[in-house]
Structure 1
């Protein structure tokens, strides 16, 4: 039996703008079996049951988005987020697959046993498909191949302290051990900040105003990212068959080295985040650590250079780095201390509209945005054989998007658990109307909460 989706605006592979199309889906497999470049009428499919006929008219049908950098924090810190709330929020923003980071859950995903604990916590609670990154910490290199065989998508490490004691940072020797252990079978992800002169004198905390955003910004200069990128590139030159990925790049100063490395054919990919593309340091009020993240949001000129790097392919993709916490850890209602507050920004459910709003003002089209948020994130996470485009043979993970609707971000409407975000009050463009996982309705904005009557149907990736 088939389900049929049709619209005058469907974003097909390689296109910058949507075109009329009809998508046929095999209900037994959830796979797309045909894509016709025409808008169809109901009379053309007389044998299709009404509940398997989806005509969205002028609304745009996009491939499901893939957020390859999300902290769901369950188990162990489920009061910060959780599989149920996090995936609900993702789905409301058109994200049909998320890849969970190996921290800040307790335990972290650094052993096979810990992965199974996390999967047990997630079972039955995922409204999107969910995959997992493994983690590299000092001394766990013998756990990497078992994790790889169990299905993790790659391995994340920190070159600077992570902020949680159960996930310590690694040094160059630890990374080399990991590279030799996995023998270039997967990708290594790097939190790319590195202090190559940690004994350098620093200004005393006693004379700094910790509620000033500039105090925090100055504590994480671009040089930390440049040093880390240089180290990563040197490792790729030493092990040229390895693959490396820089997560959440914020520093435009690192772009020159990245461009050179890519021109040499080194296997290096790079992501940035919505907050580095849509916010700038001059607009961040003092005493508001909801804007704090590591590495930090920088100035408008830096933001413009990141956009340029996206457009020329130096940066490959855009992710959320959704990294929530309980309200008390953000210190918004107490002292506004940027230096002590948790460093993370909550974004799930907003990313597509953020990028569409900012991108459209810069002349960016919806095809480019979907490439950065779906096609290339699918490739990065090893999902390009099943997701990331509306194409015959791929999963029918589909999003119905109203390109023109405007709204104001309100905390009451956010779906993630702790409703603290720097985007509250912003005017955004675009609205996710429906999401389908493998051809089945998973989210409908016209239902209360978008999910009333709909069960979690996400699969492990």
Structure 2
């Protein structure tokens, strides 16, 4: 037997099905051997003792906004991918907006791919956009490797990424269905949100609660019901992103039970933050849909426990601090987006595993296995098995820490999670067999090809 590149010994290996104690041998970026209970009789160029640690498949974050090309004063690929590595994420899907130009045609996709290949230290894929002006570009984007398509049913807040009207989204869904791809939607009602916001601002009612009240859960419900009817008519596979309420999830699950090909994602901020945090922390906790109340948080966790939610993704949408500042108490003006990509696993472990007894296997399913299956990456990714990619995260469940500003790898070191106590700490992240993060430090800046 030849020499392996890396052996991880004595770890508790977690998949979506089971936890076993054993060793993992890695060569040329792939898992080559897994032992159960006994020491692997082999040698490697490097060995890591994972005793008392848990080894999970690296997280797949299906929803991040990195601002390259363009807008790199917000968050670039270099800082963004390092933040993900520090949080145990080994693959991410970059959304088509917030970069300039947006990923709405082949030329723009190639620009994004070039800068990402140069700078990312973790694996990546790209979303294509669906906007009113690019239906004719959908097939070519698909042929050039986008993971799926993203549309906004309400204004995105980005001038060069227009939201879709009903005719555009219906035509786009027909096209996406014809090529066998998937549409992800930001589902809020333009009419409900715009009219309520206009009334609030006319009355000079601009507090955190006023902002949240202007984007109520019924706005999500209306948009989700509408897009489900379009999916039924077109046969388009559908993924609803960042659902903020179990009421939204229940509608999606009713559609699933009728045989519709539809999945739903929620985000760590909807599982750990509330309207009170928005009031106390200010713009750093502003997002769309907005944070809800304690009851909604608890009900989302119940939905997770019942298997009603498919994916957990960060929806990391950073911006410079001055854009997140609430001026004169006006919450409508500050940029809406949470900086949270580094903390997804910490929240799932602390709020889910320790506070609510959610199993580690279920966390793996939500953050890695399900995304891999949904987007055609399984069993290459999303699982710890022989011949799968050696994308792994090691965590010490016995270690607790308070997140501090200096711990963050973001370009702009702000997050609503600063000061939060977490239990369960990422110690090591491995991408394609290469240790990229270890004991608080980025240890490799070797770029990945894909």
> TM-score of the superposition, structure 2-length normalised?
0.94
1:102-150 CA-partner distances (Å, limit 9, x unpaired): 0100000000000011112222211111110000000211111111111
Q: 1:144-293 to 2 correspondence within 5 Å?
A: 144-182=138-176, 183-196=178-191, 203-210=199-206, 212-240=207-235, 242-286=236-280, 288-293=282-287
Give the whole-Å Cα distance in 2 for the aligned partners of 1:4 and 1:12. Answer: 18
- Aligned 8 A contact 1:70 1:98 in 2: yes
- Aligned 8 A contact 2:12 2:53 in 1: yes
- Of 439, 442, 445, 1:451 maps to 442
Give the whole-Å Cα distance in 1 for the aligned partners of 2:251 and 2:203. Answer: 35
Give the whole-Å Cα distance in 2 for the aligned partners of 1:435 and 1:253. Answer: 36
Secondary structure class of the residue paired with 2:279 = coil
Superposed CA RMSD? 1.8
Give the whole-Å Cα distance in 2 for the aligned partners of 1:370 and 1:337. Answer: 39
Alpha-carbon distance change, 198 to 442 in structure 1, aligned in 2, over 3 angstroms: closer
1:154-206 CA-partner distances (Å, limit 9, x unpaired): 00000000001100000221122222223151110000112356785752524
Secondary structure class of the residue paired with 2:446 = coil
1:337-389 CA-partner distances (Å, limit 9, x unpaired): 31100000001211101111001201112211111111112223321131001
- Of 379, 399, 412, 1:405 maps to 399
Alpha-carbon distance change, 266 to 327 in structure 1, aligned in 2, over 3 angstroms: same
- Of 414, 425, 431, 1:420 maps to 414
Give the whole-Å Cα distance in 2 for the aligned partners of 1:315 and 1:22. Answer: 32
1:34 alignment partner in structure 2 = 33
- Aligned 8 A contact 2:9 2:23 in 1: yes
Give the whole-Å Cα distance in 2 for the aligned partners of 1:336 and 1:405. Answer: 38
Secondary structure class of the residue paired with 1:270 = strand
Q: What is the CA-CA distance between 1:238 and the residue it aligns to?
A: 0.8
Q: Post-superposition, which runs of at least 4 consecutive aligned residues in structure 1 deviate over 6 A?
A: none
Give the whole-Å Cα distance in 1 for the aligned partners of 2:70 and 2:328. Answer: 27
- Of 303, 311, 335, 1:309 maps to 303
Please list every run of 5 or more consecutive structure 2 residues that lacks an aligned counterpart in the other structure: none
Q: Does 1:324 align with 2:314?
A: no
- Aligned 8 A contact 2:325 2:334 in 1: yes
Q: Does 1:25 align with 2:15?
A: no
Give the whole-Å Cα distance in 1 for the aligned partners of 2:300 and 2:439. Answer: 33
Secondary structure class of the residue paired with 1:123 = helix
1:276-333 CA-partner distances (Å, limit 9, x unpaired): 001112343357111100001101111111111122222101110000001110115x
Give the whole-Å Cα distance in 1 for the aligned partners of 2:116 and 2:155. Answer: 27
